[in-house]
Structure 1
Amino acid sequence: MDQARQIERHPFDVSHRLVLSIAVPMTLGFLTTPLLGLVDTGVVGQRGDANALAGLAVGAMLFDLLLGSFNFLRASTTALTSQALGRGDHDGQQAIFWRALLLAIVCGLVLALTSPLLLRLGLALMGPEPAVARETSTYFSIRILAAPMALANYALLGFVLGRGQGSFGLLLQAIINGVNIILAIYLGLRLNWGVAGVAWGTLIGETAGMVVGLAIVIKSFLGKRPTPLAQILSRHQLAELFALNRDILIRTFVLLAAFTLLTRIGTSFGAVTLAANAVLMNFFLISGYYLDGLANAAEQITGRAIGARFRPAFNRGLKLVAFWSFGLAAIGSAFFLVAGAWLISVLTTAPGVREAALAYLPWAALTGMSGALAFLMDGVFIGATWSKDMRNRMLLSFAGYLLALATLVPAFGNHGLWMAMHVFLLLRGILLAIIVKRRADQTFMAAQ
């Protein structure tokens, strides 16, 4: 019996190099996204048309909400692929990929076909002026055509991350955003297409990324037994995928609601404080790039360890990712505390906004430390496919966040708003961390 158990295990080493080989390329890949946003804004801004610039901003925000809601495609694919890798199940990896790709394309086609309705709903939500709405409509109507390709890229990225191929993930991000940047400049400025040129650049960039990604992944399948369609469309596997995606989607919506509420309450403190909060949120977003990269490493290592039925890899992966997450968060917080005043002066020239931002700087500088455990735990629970726990603990965290807002904001104003955000981040991490050992004991015991 002991020998049979040993045969079922697939030991592998977890090292600092393994963690960083996933985290560093993905962090670099994530950093290309704000660069793309700056280029798009610069291209449209060069035309001197405020309506076009506002229309682009509204359109980009709508797509952040729309496509961000489908991030579960990336997360679930990473988790299931890493577990199949841990089991040494090559056929299962192929089936997971084709299943995720099929779901992504179907969802993308539904978005494209329902785009007129989505556009009307988006414009009703944002309420832009007619001239701005026309520019938004132009941008949206072109970019929505990229929905099937954009969601296919989520599946591709999830698959390569699940196999621990961080460099491949960086390549995909670089192709998508690189082609987008080049074409946005050429079409938007050189050909003077403006907002339409930026949208076409996005469409072509997503298509280029999908084509290259598919070519590389399919090439890796050559020489292996093709996956039967019946396995791809397995009712049991589809049910598992939909359940996992449902839980991650609920968690994502709650997360979006939390940050939307943060902004909404911030508006009650006036334009200057709202602007200061917007400037300071950039510090949290920057911290989020490397913490997200490390969360990707946690997803892959956790999923692979569970698939391999190898508890030592799970334990060591958790320790090493925690080391890098808290270490980099501490360095980042120290940097923002020291250089925050200078960064604020770079981000805004308004004296009132600068003064307000300086008053709340310590809260923003420490968000990386408060959020490090939350990012880490998200990676662990996604990789382990403990999605129900993650969903339920997110709902509990949100309840605690609402209570913090109700008590701290009336008492301390905008300081209380930042306190509530820290409460939310800490609750997300702590409520998951306290059940990690018990869930890991159950999972690895069940695998014996």
Structure 2
Amino acid sequence: MSSRPTYPFDVRSADVWKIALPASVAFITEPMVGIVDITVIGRLGDPALLGGLVLGALVFDFIFSLAYFLRLGTAGLTAQAIGARDPRDGLMHAARAIALAVVIGLAMIVLSGALLWVAVLALKPDAGVEAALGQYFYVRVWSAPFSLVNYALLGWFYGRAAARTGMMLQLLIHGLNIALSIAFVYGLGWGVPGAAAGTVAGHVVAAIVGLYLVARHFGGLRATLARIVPAELVDPVALRRMFGLSRDLMIRSGALMTAYAYFAAQGSRAGEVTLSSNAILLNVMMVSAFFLDGLAQASEQLCGKAVGANWRPAFEKATNLSLLAGIGISTALALVLYFAGPTIIDLMTTSGEVREAARHYLWLTALCAISGMPAFVYDGILTGSTLNDAMRNGMVLALIFFLAAAIVLQQAMGNAGLWVALNLFFLFRGAIYWWSLERRKPALFAA
């Protein structure tokens, strides 16, 4: 018999929606920031400025994705701690993640020149785009410590199923970002650096508020610090588990962002019009992706809690309910994106060439909502189960598949081939994640 205790609980459809809806509302604001930034810069009428902004945002998306384990890992570990009845609500997992976030963020600032050099070398932008990229980069990099601390905080809040608090923090980040970007670009005439400055301000304020809420949850700063035992903070077993999870999630995130970076780089090499139209469509696609991420957050918390509670019936029910909800949500998103897409494209750019190119590939962008749904749900399930090696291996295999498909299809179909390959990438991810989970599921729960 197993020495692990069992804590039975039931999962209802309402439990999925209670987490998924606030999380989706929060996550959807992130691509909305990209849409607003592209709109305020795109309406200045200079494709080079727009290209620099797009590539700058992509660079930070790629870099920050390597530290995305701070949110994913913290959420999964915290959910399991909640399921196992941890009296400190997973505080030690959050404390380790916050400390690591500060170290990584400061290192990014120190190494900013080298990071930008690598980005320029990889993306090979035109001279005008490169100048705008540099302007954006050297302002945005100051957000790094605060952005990464926010990852850790959000992981802790969502891992505890405090979805409304997580939603509030993300709305604060992105609401300030949007308002200040518009004010800095149009009101003060700061251009591309103004869009970056709005991002920095949003993350600084949200990190301060988030840390305050954590302290308040435990009765104040002094009481919170008293619960953090230094010996436990550097416990070798816990650190090995965290760094093992972090390593695998870094590889997973790096593989995912490599796929997006390859997509963007191919658009960049095809010229400013293709680069800009693909950037607009990717941001439109990200609206559906981040909305589905809310569903992934629900499956992560509920399945992680089930693993911590050692209760397989709850795990199976959470999986099935999340996938069922995903079918309805993804279909609705695809229809909304397809029919509202032309209006969104016209709002985001005044260039006739870019508008025409974006409309041509809109249907493939909308289709990504449906093809990507299983991958997002299984992302959450595997993260909550801390099956980090399965996520790592699955994403690497999916990347290899995507690159092979993109090379072949782009030669045959041009830019449309890239979009078809992206849809196939999502489908392959979902399939291999399902296969990996089915193989590993029995070992998750003690007899």
**TM surpasses 0.5:** yes
1:401 aligns with 402
- Structural mapping, 1:221-240, within 5 Å: 221-222=218-219, 226-240=227-241
* Cα distance in 1, alignment partners of residues 419 and 308 from structure 2: 40
Q: Which amino acid aligns with 1:89?
A: D
Stretch of structure 1 that moved more, 258-267 or 147-156:
258-267
Cα distance in structure 2, aligned partners of 1:96 and 1:192:
43
- C-alpha change, 1:298 and 1:275, in structure 2 (3 Å) is same
Deviations 1:370-423 (A, max 9, x none): 111111111111110101111112222233334434544444555544433232
Write the letter of the residue equivalent to 2:155.
G
Whether the aligned pair in 2 keeps the contact of 1:91 and 1:227 (CA below 8 Å) is no
Note the 1:49-448 alignment, pairs <5 A: 55-91=52-88, 93-127=90-124, 136-222=133-219, 226-265=227-266, 277-336=278-337, 360-444=361-445, 447-448=446-447
| Cα deviation, residue 187, structure 1 | 4.4
Give the Cα–Cα distance (whole angstroms) in 2 for the partners of residues 52 and 176 of structure 1. Answer: 24
What code does the residue aligned with 2:227 have? Answer: P
Question: Is contact 2:71-2:154 (8 Å) kept?
Answer: yes
Deviations 1:227-247 (A, max 9, x none): 211101111111111111111
Shifted more, 357-366 versus 213-222: the winner is 357-366
Give the deviation of 1:45 after TM superposition: 6.5
SS of residue paired to 1:90 = coil
Distance 1:251 1:220 in 2: 32
Q: Per-residue deviation at 1:122?
A: 3.3
How far 1:219 moved relative to its partner?
1.3
Give the alignment's Cα RMSD to 1 decimal.
3.2
Letter in 2 for 1:214: L
Structure 1 residue 172, shift from structure 2 partner: 0.7
Specify whether residues 37 and 374 from structure 1 end up closer, same or farther in structure 2 by C-alpha distance, changes over 3 A only: closer
Alpha-carbon deviation of 1:170? 1.0
In 2 relative to 1, CA 430–187 (structure 1 residues): closer, same or farther, beyond 3 Å?
closer
The one-letter code matched in structure 2 to 1:98 is: A
Residue pair 2:45, 2:350 contacting (<8 A) in 1 also: no
* Residues 1:155 and 1:262: Cα distance change in structure 2 (over 3 Å): same
Per-residue deviation at 1:364? 3.1
- Larger displacement relative to structure 2 (316-325 or 202-211): 202-211
Distance 1:127-1:427 versus aligned 2 partners, 3 A rule? closer
- Please report how far the alpha carbon of residue 96 of structure 1 lies from its aligned counterpart in structure 2 after TM superposition: 0.6
| Distance 1:354-1:105 versus aligned 2 partners, 3 A rule | closer
Q: Does 1:15 align with 2:32?
A: no
1:120-171 residue CA offsets vs partner (Å, 9 max, x unmatched) = 3334444556666555444433332221111100100111010011111111
Go from structure 1 to structure 2 and tell me whether the alpha carbon gap of 1:61 and 1:371 turns closer, same or farther (over 3 Å shift).
closer
Q: Separation in 1 of the partners of 2:190 and 2:265?
A: 34
Rounded to whole Å, the distance in 2 between the matches of 1:237 and 1:125 is: 36
> Deviation string for 1:331-354 (max 9, x for gaps)?
233445556666666667777766
C-alpha displacement of 1:440: 1.6
- Whether the 8 Å CA contact 1:79–1:303 is kept in 2: the answer is yes
d(CA) in 2 for partners of 1:131 and 1:266?
A: 16
Work out the CA distance in 2 between the residues paired with 1:274 and 1:150. 27
Change (3 A) 1:233 1:417: same
Gaps spanning 5+ residues in structure 2: where? none
Is the deviation greater in 68-77 or in 41-50?
41-50
CA distance in 1, matches of 2:50, 2:12: 46
TM-score w.r.t. length of structure 2: 0.87
Amino acid corresponding to residue 166 of structure 2 in structure 1: G
Report the Cα distance in structure 2 between the residues aligned to 1:408 and 1:50, rounded to whole angstroms: 27
Asked if the contact 2:59/2:119 (under 8 Å) is kept, the reply is yes
Q: Kindly tell me: are residues 428 and 45 of structure 1, through their superposed partners in 2, closer, same or farther at Cα, counting changes over 3 Å? A: closer
Alpha-carbon distance change, 345 to 432 in structure 1, aligned in 2, over 3 angstroms: same
3-state SS in 2 of match to 1:10: coil
2: CA distance, partners of 1:398 / 1:438: 21
How many Å separate the matches in 2 of 1:359 and 1:192? 33
Work out whether residues 31 and 286 of structure 2, in 8 Å CA contact, stay in contact via their aligned partners in 1. Answer: no
CA contact (8 A) 1:80 1:96 kept: yes
Q: CA deviation at 1:58?
A: 4.2
Query: Of the two, which has the highest radius of gyration?
Result: 1
Q: Give the % identical residues.
A: 38
**TM value normalised by structure 1:** 0.87
Could you tell me whether the CA contact under 8 Å between 2:109 and 2:142 is conserved in 1?
yes
Relative to structure 1, the CA distance from residue 73 to residue 15 in structure 2 (aligned partners, 3 Å threshold; closer, same or farther) is same
State the distance in 1 between where 2:129 and 2:406 align.
34
Q: Which runs of 5+ in 1 are unaligned?
A: none
Structure 2 CA distance for partners of 1:262 and 1:352, relative to 1, 3 Å: same
